[in-house]
Amino acid sequence: MDGNGRWARERGLPRIEGHRRGAEAVRACTAGCLEAGVKHLTLYAFSKENWQRPPDEVKSLMSLLDRFLAERIAEIMERNIRLRAIGHLQDLPEKTRRRLDEGIARSAHNTALNLTLALSYGARTEIVDATRAIARAVQAGTLAPDAINEETVTNALYTAGTPDPDLLIRTSGEMRISNFLLWQLSYTEIVVTPKLWPEFSKEDFFAAVREYAQRNRRFGGV
């Protein structure tokens, strides 16, 4: 979800205003998923690298996340959305983590859409954590090295139990993956839009889905 800061800068506004507007785009995207029958949506909300931003901006982003969780939980429940999260969630402020845990618990039995927030997330870190978990299993004698396969790795990732993405939408015209779901995106179709995230609408989401539907997915075959 890229382009919040650029959107604000182009309008002479503080960066946090771009992030606030970006939070509104989340509603449009989830609405599009519900209408299209999409069952899984993962939003790259805050990366491990984002902690390196100025402290005031990080504090504002955490406050915005906390407010988003507080204000949207009723809508999440009304729309039958299941909230989930991946990443080093222990890095989040205690108040925000508690709010997130409450939302996850309240929505655990919802079935219309699985909405996963990637928070303090980095794909390389995820793969390192998965490797450590597998190594511990080998060390404990519960897993033989020769038995390790792709399924073993998949099941050790934060996203275990969630299907690999069919479609990655990258906003603001950026032509890179940016350390997002590196293992899971192996055969994912990518749609890049020049729209900045705060401008991303439900119609833009449907346009990306239509483009995806025209792709011929061969998964390495003929």
Phi, psi of 29 (to 5 degrees): -70, -45
Q: What pLDDT digit, counting tens, does each position of 80-128 carry?
A: 999 999 999 999 999 999 999 999 999 999 999 999 999 999 999 999 9
Q: Which tens digits make up the pLDDT trace of 33-87?
A: 999 999 999 999 999 999 999 999 999 999 999 999 999 999 999 999 999 999 9
pLDDT digits (tens, 9 = 90+) for 123-163: 999 999 999 999 999 999 999 999 999 999 999 999 999 99
User: Region 195-213: what's the mean pLDDT?
Assistant: 96
Residue-averaged pLDDT of the chain: 95
Span between the terminal Cα atoms of the chain, in Å: 33
pLDDT value of residue 218: 74
**DSSP-derived secondary structure for the chain:** ---HHHHHHHTT--HHHHHHHHHHHHHHHHHHHHHHT--EEEEEEEEGGGGGS-HHHHHHHHHHHHHHHHHHHHHHHHTTEEEEEES-GGGS-HHHHHHHHHHHHHTTT--SEEEEEEEEE-HHHHHHHHHHHHHHHHHHTSS-GGG--HHHHHHHSTTTTSPPPSEEEE-TT--S--SSSTTTTTT-EEEE-SS-GGG--HHHHHHHHHHHHT----TT--
- Active-site amino acid positions: 2, 50
Give the residues across from 170 on adjacent strands: 192
- Give the global pTM: 0.94
Q: For residue 222, is pLDDT > 70?
A: no
Q: In this structure, how many other beta carbons lie within 10 angstroms of the beta carbon of residue 131?
A: 12
Answer yes or no: are the C-beta atoms of 5 and 57 closer than 8 Å: no
Q: Write the pLDDT tens digit of every residue in 161-193.
A: 999 999 999 999 999 999 999 999 999 999 999
Average pLDDT of span 8-27 = 92
φ, ψ of residue 162 to 5 degrees: the values are -110, 130
CATH superfamily membership of 4-212 = Decaprenyl diphosphate synthase-like (3.40.1180.10)
Residue with tokens 């990637």, as numbered in its chain: 118
The pLDDT, as a whole number, for residue 63 is: 93
Q: What is the pLDDT of residue 108?
A: 98
Sheet of strand 113-121, all strands in order from the earlier edge strand to the far edge: 40-47, 113-121, 81-86
In degrees, rounded to 5, the angle at the alpha carbon of residue 75 between the alpha carbons of residues 74 and 79 is 120
Average pLDDT over residues 6-35: 93
pLDDT band, residue 221 (cuts 50/70/90): low
